[in-house]
Structure 1
């Protein structure tokens, strides 16, 4: 056979995105070329079996091998697969690979070395081939994809795993449509070619020789979610932290899907980003990340995405995202507020709860006194509450909450109950208005703190000089006459002093009157 021209492709020792060596040739010959249809074995290797079993690959043939002549005069070349020619040409242009017109673009790109090669991580580089592969994945024009069905992977955790598939010899792009799991990423597109190269002649030889490719996915570090407070009060603000490691090679998509529950309002404009614990500048955040631009109100089905626009830029890095959420009036005092993070199909929860307390206003006989007014303070701030259907008071997110009041009143049994409070805080409760003039105008106060979620009442001689607060029984007494006051502590001493002065005063009066009679 007379060969007019044969152009060699890539050196034998090289690999094309992890595949076996590829020689590319374009040829003109007197003979009509025939497409090589012999099957080749494509072997995929991975660190874990799941990288292979989770994959859902389709193989799209983008390059055919053609044979010229036979016997000793045989030669091989590459032509773009006719069914996918439009997609290949478009993807080459998108990747910045430009060749002269009126020739097979894929063959020309291989011959000139425009499609560079890579066998090592992160597989983002070389630039042209990765862009070509990514462009092919996004091409809707690709056709005739063959589903890749692996047998059971062989190997071990020590030596790695492998699985094979048999396909007609040629150049393929393998595209994964699997969903990332908590332990493995979705594979990035892989371009793999069967065949070997005759290093001496630098021509394609034995096109049906098997190819081996390292699976372009990786063990996937899980995502985590944390909240800065285990307990909080309605109206307060929480800070959430989302953490995830972008695998290397980077997946084509990386995002945090957050699911704020009822009672949370995610505040837009509070998002901050960190890469390996170094804060990312506002300018970079604006281009590298997509976040909600409006507040997000939590509910049973609410969710929002925090997206890394170009995961390859942060391949191998730990990404942290922090943002603020306000506890709104919809929060459940029983269930608390729950914010979830989608960890590749499994939700990670960050829960914050509330606490409450109660006490009873009683008369000297232990009977409840209705309609006594109290206020609750957090430090020097008077808190607002909304009365519930059961008579309890739920903390309001703000003074503007519908039905909110700072003046809470005892019910018919003399009881007051409060919910929606923070276990980490200490609250001051003060009586501000007695039920009626029947009772003495004595207004004690006391504090409430929490130990293991249980309310602990405390009083001092200053806040309750008459000893009207029983911290164990959780009662606050009022009386109708001074003689009903407790005769204990500083208040008892004061009472005895008052009585003694009264008696002394009576004695003085009697003595004066007696003297007046003697005169």
Structure 2
């Protein structure tokens, strides 16, 4: 309110302060009034989407009869003319202020009162005590009262809807020059509109008198709405962190995990500007209870153990307390397209400065916050053993949900109508993805036939991983809570290993055959390693990328590579396929078992090893015959 009043009064309204006006009777002036055109331009910094603005005439300028001095309005020649049908409403609105106007000479009470509206001296935004609906200026009191009359008893003599321009983010209208009340009707929408309904505004049109060449900012005003962002990114908890303060978490641009790992997400918003909004510390009046909540949604079935880790007003370095400043709730369903795993953090108690309720174990809400404070929430979830696994990436990087990953999204809901706090704007936030991977062991015999019953272990850093078996596809999935370390090939000779972490520097897994099927040689059972290395591309559209941050923790997997080391496999039993004897390069390794040394490959180190074994055997047999021959000669 302050900006609109100040801008207008700098040219027009200031001229009405302590003016006597022209010596014309009201009736005569209205009868002879000629309407001259003026314009109003409203700048919508947060966009025009969802807003419909209508201008309602309060009073006309005096029919172009005012004059200019040095290009500026000659205030001694200016006054307002109020239409008879509008007088009662304007007088009632003036009575809500500290202005004590009476009819004087040719001027009505309404016209005298409008002259006394002064430049807004309130330091608070929009003319309210900051963060409240307490009015601190006569202009704000007048505008709000007149708006309430428009909703109930006042039918203005003239009105016109302004035209929106989405490209320039402005509303404009050409209409009879005068002073107008601008009211906003707002409809929210997840994609188009991220704003609130403007508080009532008063603005005067531009001057029709072309002799006024220096009109100032007359005819211009900024929409008195507000917006709140919601950002989201994947983060990692620092190993040295002592607590769950958001500063203990850093952006993670390599979001690759083992299944059953805990994944952390950081959600960030700001407390909206609640100037002009009522609040109810008892939370009993829905239309006077401010709303603010974050709804975090994990992809259905892909995460478990969703938890709110910490909540802070990071502007004030204040940790917020559950059941005093906010409440949480979770919802899970498994119904086809409506699958939800929602975690709601509701700040209704905070923004209404709620009272304590010992009967419900609810504490007094902290009241030290201010509009614009940053609220940071850390949430976590375990990557489920049912998570989507992948053997490849997408190129180029995309935005939104990646079908190869496991996604998590967020939305913000907050009051958008000063007259009805239960009406909410919903802001859809970014979708971020996390990934986990897989590889396959294909167990075959020397002829390339599928081999069932071979047992393997997979380890990292010398520690065998634990697995649970997927009842759907029979795959072995990493599960820290399991006790199973043995993986056994099925009737197709396959062992699918899922839920594996990769990294940009590579994560190395050692694959060791620990038990061969009956009749197969245990002594030549192979061991090899496979290293999973990933590459990511950042989603630069994520609003978490701001300030000095060049990247958000929102990355798409663009490449996944498999590098094998078969140094320990001296018999060359680990190959790319049954038909390709080279080392594997993709996500599947073929691993042979043999029943005799004659089935070992006969080239390279394996061939040398085989012939060494045969040579040793021949020497042993020769030595045996020599011993027997010597003994026979001695008996003879």
**For 2:411 and 2:589, how far apart are their aligned partners in 1?**
44
Q: Structure 2 vs 1, CA of residues 140 and 239 (structure 1 numbering), >3 Å: closer, same or farther?
A: farther
Q: Does 1:367 align with 2:459?
A: no
**RMSD of aligned Cα (Å):** 5.4
Q: Structure 2 vs 1, CA of residues 368 and 423 (structure 1 numbering), >3 Å: closer, same or farther?
A: same
**For 2:490 and 2:604, how far apart are their aligned partners in 1?**
30
Q: State the shift of 1:216 in Å.
A: 0.5
With normalisation by structure 2, the TM-score equals 0.54
Counterparts in 2 of 1:119-268, with a 5 A limit?
122-123=125-126, 126-127=129-130, 130-132=133-135, 143=152, 150-153=161-164, 157=168, 162-163=172-173, 174=183, 177-179=186-188, 185-190=195-200, 192=202, 213-217=221-225, 220=227, 223-227=230-234, 228=252, 229-244=254-269, 255-262=293-300, 263-265=302-304, 267-268=306-307
Q: Structure 2 vs 1, CA of residues 287 and 423 (structure 1 numbering), >3 Å: closer, same or farther?
A: same
Partner of 2:93: 64
With normalisation by structure 1, the TM-score equals 0.64
Q: Does 1:290 align with 2:353?
A: no
Of 510, 513, 529 in structure 2, the residue corresponding to residue 428 of structure 1 is: 510
Partner of 1:407: 486
Q: State the shift of 1:469 in Å.
A: 1.4
Q: State the shift of 1:478 in Å.
A: 0.9
**For 2:131 and 2:459, how far apart are their aligned partners in 1?**
65
Of 365, 373, 383 in structure 1, the residue corresponding to residue 466 of structure 2 is: 383
Counterparts in 2 of 1:27-38, with a 5 A limit?
none
Q: Structure 2 vs 1, CA of residues 179 and 44 (structure 1 numbering), >3 Å: closer, same or farther?
A: farther
Q: State the shift of 1:183 in Å.
A: 6.8
**For 2:520 and 2:165, how far apart are their aligned partners in 1?**
89
Per the alignment, in what secondary structure is the counterpart of residue 629 of structure 2? helix
Partner of 1:338: 407
Q: State the shift of 1:513 in Å.
A: 3.3
Aligned 8 A contact 1:122 1:249 in 2: no
Aligned 8 A contact 1:261 1:302 in 2: yes
Q: Structure 2 vs 1, CA of residues 272 and 490 (structure 1 numbering), >3 Å: closer, same or farther?
A: farther
Partner of 1:456: 562
Q: State the shift of 1:476 in Å.
A: 0.9
Per the alignment, in what secondary structure is the counterpart of residue 367 of structure 1? coil
Of 45, 50, 55 in structure 2, the residue corresponding to residue 54 of structure 1 is: 50
Q: State the shift of 1:264 in Å.
A: 2.2
Q: Structure 2 vs 1, CA of residues 355 and 508 (structure 1 numbering), >3 Å: closer, same or farther?
A: same
Cα-to-partner distance string for 1:422-477 (whole Å, 9 max, x where unaligned) = 33333222222222135445432222333565563624443x34332123382111
Aligned 8 A contact 1:122 1:248 in 2: no
Q: Which structure 1 segments of 5+ residues have no match?
A: 1-12, 26-36, 80-110, 196-209
**For 1:288 and 1:371, how far apart are their aligned partners in 2?**
58
Cα-to-partner distance string for 1:409-433 (whole Å, 9 max, x where unaligned) = 2222212223333333332222222
Q: Structure 2 vs 1, CA of residues 78 and 305 (structure 1 numbering), >3 Å: closer, same or farther?
A: farther
Partner of 2:477: 395
Q: Which structure 2 segments of 5+ residues have no match?
A: 19-29, 57-88, 96-100, 206-217, 235-251, 278-290, 353-367, 391-402, 413-425, 535-558, 576-582
